Amino acid sequence: MCFRYKHNKNKPMKNLLLSYLLLLFGHSFAQNHSISGTIGDQASGETLLGATIYSKESGKGAITNEYGFYSLTLPKGKHTIVISYLGYQDVIQEIDLQANQKINLELAATDNELEEVVITTNNTSKSQTKQVIAGSINLKPKDIKQLPALLGEPDVTRAILTQPGVSTVGEGASGFNVRGGNIDQNLILLDEAPIYNSSHVWGFFSIFNTDAIKDMQLYKGGIPARFGGRASSVLDIRQREGNSKKFKGEGGIGLLFSRLTLEGPIKKDNLSFLVSGRRSYFDLFFPLFKSLKKNKVYFYDLNSKLSWKINDNNKLFVSGYFGADVMKLKFENEVESDDPNSTQTKKSSEEIDFRWKNATTTLRWNHIFFDKLFMNVSGIFSQYNYVLSSKNSGGGPAGSASNFKWKSSIENWIIKPDFTYYQNADTKIRFGFNSTLYRFTPAKISGNETEGINTVKFQTEKGLELAPYISYNKKWNKFSMNAGVRYSWFGNLGANKVSFYDPTIPQTVSSITGTKQYKSNQFSKTYSGFEPRISFKYDLNNRKAIKLGYNRMFQYVHLISNSYATLPFDIWKPAGYHVKPLEVNQISVGYAYDTPENNYNFSVEGYAKNFKNLVEYKNGADLFLNDNLETQLLSANGYSYGIELGAYKTKGKLTGNVNYTYSETKRKTITNFKSENINNGEYYPSNYDRPHMFNLTTNYALNKKWSISGFFTYQTGRPTTYATGKFIANGNQHFTYSNRNAFRLKATHRLDLSFTYTPIKKPTRNWSGNWVFGVYNVYSHKNAFSVYSKLKNNQLKTFQYSVIGAPIPFITYNFKF
């Protein structure tokens, strides 16, 4: 009775609440329905990332995601739907929305095909007024191909370097630096697989074949919560899916490079493939030179992708990349004879084989649960390794035979489920989970012990990184927000050995007081932290916007290198007992303005970054084959701030952009021992501190057949350390040096020009092509890459080293069929 009494007492309240909820949601469901589907290219079936779809009546709209999917909730009734994408004809469709509808659409290209679109900072122009996230830049293949390139090979990295806030330590340096960050602070993804060395030929060319690329997005200000593991930027590169309508091909033939891409349907509209290859052929010219004829130096890339549309709700993608640099060098020397009484000599030959490779595989499954919930699950494998081997034929006791092989690698195994819920036209929720298993093999050296070369294997390290995340996108009239949080957890896994040091003196091998051996898969050290990400945008009107953003990033892997330019044999080290994860906090504020005709787009953005637990190096650090690297490292904090100005012209015969960046980047070592402090513990410029940077990119269409492109850049010289004196110790000569980075190299600047000739295509021919002629470094300026010191006439002299000091002409023929 008591139970009945309580139940009856609350029943009216429960009924009232239930009635209210039914009325609320019933009214909502009765008044609103969703349209959803995919938007693609009519000629190829390739899905379009960033296409817009909106209702004229309601003004509500949506943008397709990375896989061409959209979902838009609208009021019940009739709507005029407009679908648009840059370089394509708009589609206008009348619908009577009485229930949820699935609408898959394909757009027809205008006179300019998909590949002919230019660099944009959103999906309709270079406008920054539409993006909520500050400092986000979208790139398409056409503009990369328009830029004058070294030896005529279109290059992703060089295109990125035309953008504000992005720099490099010098010509021929690997990778790029973003807003004062190290090269290892950039998360470079190819179909979601991380790339650890993005360069060929010691940094002159990137590994990315533009013919295989669909889209590239660079995040340097606000970074979405789904990305993590690096502290300064994300470069998200997506490969094309392959033509599902008909067989097509394209490629290019240059003086020292060629590339070819083939694509087509295996089953029309359901199953397609893409295969793209590129190779240099420097080595084909070596036989012309006596000193080089036995050598080989070349690189190659192979991209592939298989796309299967199982049904309207399920798609599978399998993609891969494999690329390598190969350097085979042969030397011949004269060595002494076995007979000490003989004056004859014997020949000794040495062969050096040096290779570094990237390999990735990505398996992705897209699934649409219902009109508002989209899922992608990715399984990823990524590997970077290098192998250095040497064979010496000997020739006697003075030149005894020997051989060795040195191998190093880093591997990632990744699982990434990702969900997007489209609550309504103004609200989107994205959430998921990243799991990454790392394996680091710093060095394994094998040789013949009878030749005096022992087999040595340095300690292999493993790490596990787990990161759930969620983001919330919301728009209220003039105000938009993108807020998210990521919780990252990292554990350093055994089996490994940890050394302990006397805390009263600097860490050296001689100060080790003990060690601890951790078992296989036992955690030796763990770290974790919250990474909030938030961006706001306020529209002053439809042409002006103000932005504000903040993000925190943790980085659990470090590139160990004390050289200015990253080298292929530099090693990566995970956070562990002695090396802490890097933490970066960044705030940014910006203003964007578009002219009424949208011919010109202007933006200004300021930022400030704080770095904690940077890896720095002791003076005279010896990193080579060191199994106790922590004895050579120091922890440092730092800061970077700057302002970026950009102006873009997007219409007319003359298009292009001009940008200027002012920035300052400094660091300060943190140690308990004054003798180890760099520059007495004071702040000093980092290797990437280049205060003034100016870029100008232009494209001018002379007529229907001819166009001209130019690129000019100017940057303050980077900091460097000079030898200031000499002394003799134990009969050996040594140099003394200035404070770290107390001097600067001269400012760098360069002008590149290219001309493109495109014959008018005959309607009856499937073949089309164009010729690109140009000159890299037009006025032959010798930009300093580094300096070195030596004695000349018993005086200490400093000399400049330049990688490229002369104009380099090029010619390339590009074709499609």
What would the pLDDT profile of 66-91 be if each residue is shown by its tens digit?
999 999 999 999 999 999 998 899 99
- Please state the rounded mean pLDDT for residues 445-459: 71
What's the pLDDT score for residue 111?
63
277 CB-contact burial (10 Å; exposed 0-12 / middle 13-18 / buried 19+): buried
- Please state the rounded mean pLDDT for residues 679-684: 94
What's the pLDDT score for residue 319?
98
pLDDT at residue 335 greater than cutoff 80: no
Among 226, 249, 233, 165, which Cα is nearest to 198's? 233
Residue 274 CA to residue 87 CA, distance in Å, equals 22
Q: Which residue has the higher pLDDT, 14 or 154?
A: 154
- CB environment 341-359: b (16+ within 10 A), e (fewer): eeeeebebebbebbbbbbb
Q: If you compute the radius of gyration of the chain from its CA atoms, what whole number of angstroms results?
A: 29
Among the ranges given (272-281, 508-517, 777-786), the one the predictor scored with the smallest mean pLDDT: 777-786
What's the pLDDT score for residue 439?
96
pLDDT tens track for 579-632: 999 999 999 999 999 999 888 999 999 999 999 999 999 988 888 778 899 999
- Please state the rounded mean pLDDT for residues 27-42: 81
Task: Decide if 744 contacts 800 (C-beta within 8 A).
Answer: no
Confidence of residue 24 (pLDDT cuts 50, 70, 90): very low
pLDDT at residue 303 greater than cutoff 90: yes
What's the pLDDT score for residue 714?
97
What's the pLDDT score for residue 727?
80
- Please state the rounded mean pLDDT for residues 470-499: 95
Specify the pTM: 0.91
* Mean pLDDT over the full length of the chain: 88
Percent of the chain residues topping a pLDDT of 90: 66
Task: Measure Cα distances from 339 to 332, 345, 402, 451, 779 in Å.
Answer: 21, 10, 20, 21, 58
- In this structure, is the dihedral angle defined by the CA atoms of residues 473, 475, 476 and 478, taken in order, positive or negative? positive
What's the pLDDT score for residue 189?
98
Give the long-range contacts of residues 2-11, CB within 8 A, separation 24 or more: none
What's the pLDDT score for residue 797?
79
Backbone angles phi, psi at 232, to 5 degrees: -120, -35
What's the pLDDT score for residue 19?
52
What's the pLDDT score for residue 567?
67
Residue 579 CA to residue 54 CA, distance in Å, equals 50
Among the ranges given (350-354, 366-370, 797-801), the one the predictor scored with the smallest mean pLDDT: 797-801
What's the pLDDT score for residue 443?
83
Residue spans in the chain of domains classed CATH 2.40.170.20 = 136-816
Backbone angles phi, psi at 59, to 5 degrees: 75, 0
Confidence of residue 471 (pLDDT cuts 50, 70, 90): very high
Secondary structure of residue 203 in the 3-state scheme = helix
pLDDT at residue 730 greater than cutoff 60: yes
DSSP state of 12: H
pLDDT at residue 333 greater than cutoff 60: yes
CATH numeric code, 30-116: 2.60.40.1120
What is the maximal distance between C-alpha atoms in the chain?
120
pLDDT tens track for 180-234: 999 999 999 999 999 999 999 878 889 999 999 999 999 999 999 999 999 999 9
The CATH architecture annotation of domain 136-816 reads Beta Barrel (2.40)
Among 208, 222, 144, which Cα is nearest to 179's? 222
Q: Which residue has the higher pLDDT, 785 or 249?
A: 249
Residue spans in the chain of domains classed CATH 2.60.40.1120 = 30-116
Percent of the chain residues topping a pLDDT of 70: 90
Q: How many residues does the chain have?
A: 817
Q: Which residue has the higher pLDDT, 290 or 103?
A: 103
Among 670, 685, 584, which Cα is nearest to 634's? 670
Task: Decide if 774 contacts 754 (C-beta within 8 A).
Answer: yes
Kindly write down the DSSP assignment for every residue of 396-415, as one continuous string. Answer: SGGG--EEEEEEEEEEEEEE
Task: Decide if 745 contacts 687 (C-beta within 8 A).
Answer: no
